[in-house]
């Protein structure tokens, strides 16, 4: 019987692992891909920023975090996992969690595990939000930017107004003509770096109060303040956020609320699944959850 099973090995899950180890808890972390899967999906070479989402926090958890590149951060965390011998199973998807009296049965690809507590550190990045418009399923439409270096001399539409969209637009604008379509009249919750970057950049044409209505091959119908304009783009990047994994949460019966403790005693929610913020917030949540649950063991 484990004291705690941690689902997800992003910054929140990794931080909880370190804290569980420090407190001599019998823990296991199950990760459906490789550790830090969300960070692996950032654009190649991206510099990690600390005040992401406009939220500046002091780091309380032990997990290393500096403003390094995506690649350096992953390498550092892989080294920590190895050196600390953290008990993490990669490529192991958690499918369901069942309450059995005062304990839980965690059902994963690799088998079933019994535990006194469960920490859900699953983030939200597995399900990107869609626009729900015709043509969104075409092969020139993407929901993440992997390698900006793959694109040059193209006409590219980026949809969204958050940090991911701005970063993608700035990276792509180095070698391409970029248009940013955003539904609101101004940008908000940006990091200082992204705010200054987009203000200074003359290669990104920002169209506020615009919505994509349809994508037909290269032709995109854009509703700009009520007027439909048809514009041509080689590629469309839709970077408008992520949905909660509601199917998974409903199956377990967990509701996302304000705090770390969920509506089911013994199940904790940490990091982005609780509230979309940033890496520091996720790391701090990992530490807090172990502090709270160890008192009840």
Ligand X SMILES: Cc1cc2nc3c(=O)[nH]c(=O)nc-3n(C[C@H](O)[C@H](O)[C@H](O)COP(=O)(O)OP(=O)(O)OC[C@H]3O[C@@H](n4cnc5c(N)ncnc54)[C@H](O)[C@@H]3O)c2cc1C
**Binding positions for ligand X, rule: CB under 6 A:** 7-13, 30-33, 37-38, 42, 48-49, 52, 93-94, 121-123, 125-126, 164, 271-272, 277-279, 282
Q: Which is nearer to ligand X, 59 or 294 (CB)?
A: 59
Q: What are the residues facing 261 on neighbouring strands?
A: 268
Q: What are the residues facing 235 on neighbouring strands?
A: 156
Q: Which is nearer to ligand X, 126 or 211 (CB)?
A: 126
Shortest Å, Cβ 34 to ligand X: 8
Provide the CA 96 distance to its chain's centre, in angstroms.
21
Q: Which is nearer to ligand X, 78 or 219 (CB)?
A: 78
Tell me how far apart the alpha carbons of residues 75 and 56 are, in angstroms, rounded to a whole number: 24
Shortest Å, Cβ 148 to ligand X: 12
Shortest Å, Cβ 85 to ligand X: 19
Q: Which is nearer to ligand X, 86 or 222 (CB)?
A: 86
The tokens for 170 are 């700035």
Shortest Å, Cβ 2 to ligand X: 15
Strand, helix or coil for residue 54: helix
Which residue is listed with tokens 């701005």? 166
Shortest Å, Cβ 33 to ligand X: 4
Q: Which residues contact 166 (CB under 8 A, 6 or more apart)?
A: 180, 187, 190, 194, 197, 198
Q: Which is nearer to ligand X, 218 or 277 (CB)?
A: 277
């Amino acid at each position: 019987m484990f004291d705690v099973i941690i689902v997800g090995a992003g910054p929140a899950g990794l931080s909880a692992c370190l804290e569980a180890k420090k407190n001599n808890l019998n823990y296991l972390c199950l990760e459906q891909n490789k550790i830090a899967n969300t960070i692996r999906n950032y654009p190649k070479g991206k510099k990690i920023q600390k005040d992401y989402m406009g939220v500046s926090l002091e780091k309380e958890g032990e997990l290393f975090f500096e403003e390094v590149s995506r690649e350096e951060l992953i390498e550092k965390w892989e080294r920590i996992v190895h050196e600390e011998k953290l008990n993490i199973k990669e490529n192991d998807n958690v499918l369901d969690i069942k309450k059995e009296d005062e304990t839980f049965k965690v059902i994963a690809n690799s088998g079933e595990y019994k535990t006194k507590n469960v920490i859900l550190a699953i983030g939200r990045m597995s399900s990107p939000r869609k626009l729900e418009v015709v043509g969104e399923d075409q092969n020139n439409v993407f929901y993440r930017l992997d390698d900006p270096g793959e694109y040059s001399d193209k006409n590219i539409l980026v949809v969204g107004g958050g940090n991911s969209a701005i970063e993608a637009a700035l990276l792509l604008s180095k070698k391409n003509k970029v248009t940013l379509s955003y539904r609101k009249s101004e940008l908000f919750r940006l990091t200082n770096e992204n705010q200054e970057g987009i203000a200074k950049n003359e290669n990104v044409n920002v169209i506020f109060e615009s919505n994509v209505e349809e994508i037909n091959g290269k032709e995109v119908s854009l509703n700009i303040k009520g007027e439909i304009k048809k514009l041509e783009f080689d590629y469309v990047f839709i970077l408008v956020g992520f949905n909660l994994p509601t199917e998974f949460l409903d199956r377990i019966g967990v509701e996302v609320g304000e705090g770390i403790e969920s509506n089911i005693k013994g199940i904790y929610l940490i990091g982005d699944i609780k509230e979309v913020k940033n890496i520091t917030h996720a790391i701090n949540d990992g530490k807090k959850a172990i502090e709270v649950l160890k008192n009840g063991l």
